[in-house]
Structure formats: C-alpha cells, structure tokens
Amino acid sequence: MDKTHYWRVYSLIFELLIMLLIGILPKEVSVYFKLPLLAFAMALQYCLYDQVNDYSYANVFTTANLKRATLNLVAGILYHQKNQLKSAILYYEIIVCFIIGAVLGSLFSNILGIRAIIIPAGLILITIIYHVKKIRNKESIFNW
C-alpha cells in the first residue's frame, strides 16, 4: 500500500478532528478560538478538493459556482453548445446541494447549537471511508 496516495485523506482526518474538537468544547470557549480552526480546515478543503467530474468548483462557498453555472448556461443557450449546458446543470446541482446543506445546517444548529457540527463531521467520516476504498480499488488495479 503506497501511502502517498492518501494525502487528501489526511487533510480530511485533520478536518474531522477539528470539527469534533469544536463540537465537544464547552460553550464558554470563545468563538475567537473556534472559528480560526474551522476556517483553516475549510481552506485546506477548498484547496485540495477543487474539481468534480473534471470541472473546477468551489466547495466551501457557492458564488463562484453560480457565476460558472450562469456563464455556461448563457453560452449553452446562445451558442447551442450541449457541453456548456451539461456543465451548467452540474453547477446548478452543486448550488442546490449547497442550499440544502445550508438550510439543514441552520435547522440543526437551532436544535443542537454548536453540537450540530457533529453531523457534518459524520459526513466527513463517511467521505474518508469512501475515499480510502476508492484508493484501495485503484491500488488493486494499478501497480503504483
């Protein structure tokens, strides 16, 4: 097993640990301590996971995705380019998922407070497991 293919997984583990730490810290711990930790983890995620299906995208905010979606939609309609329309649909799907996540995050935050961060931490854990399985599948096919 070649450990060099796991470098993105290590960043996700780091992010998971930060999220769990923030989730278990007492309410008395200042947001000035919690926010920089989370911002650093999000910056890592933004830099390391910047493509989906060979399209670049923003994964921790969505304004860049909205711009790309709209530009691709206009190009697809005006110039009859099907590949532009396909990418516009992909970007709009990403935006819808982002909105759903924001709404659910808000609802869970109202119910659980800061402990709501445990839910996305669980999703990160699922992502880590999935990512490791994908790497192991590639390792069994290719001899890196």
CA-to-CA separations, 13 to 68, 121, 141, in angstroms, rounded: 30, 10, 25
* Cα-based angle 15, 47, 124 (whole degrees, multiple of 5): 30
Distance CA 27, CA 98 (A): 27
Query: With 80 as the cut, is the pLDDT of residue 7 above it?
Result: yes
Bridge partners, residue 55, by sequence:
52
Going by C-alpha positions, the residue among 107, 106, 73 that lies closest to residue 87 is 73
- Return the residue matching tokens 């995705």: 65
Supply the angle between the helices 7-24 and 31-48 in degrees, to the nearest 10: 160
Average pLDDT over residues 72-83: 96
Mean per-residue pLDDT, 11-23? 94
If one compares 33 and 144, the residue with the highest pLDDT of the two is 33
At 141 the pLDDT is: 82
| Interatomic CA distance for residues 8 and 126, integer angstroms | 14
Phi then psi dihedrals of residue 127, to 5 deg: -65, -40
Q: What percent of the chain has pLDDT over 70?
A: 96
Number of H helices and number of E strands within the chain?
5, 2
Which of 5-14, 23-32, 33-42, 122-131 has the least mean pLDDT?
A: 5-14
Q: pTM, whole model, 2 decimals?
A: 0.81
What are 104-133's pLDDT values in tens digits? 999 999 999 999 999 999 999 999 999 999
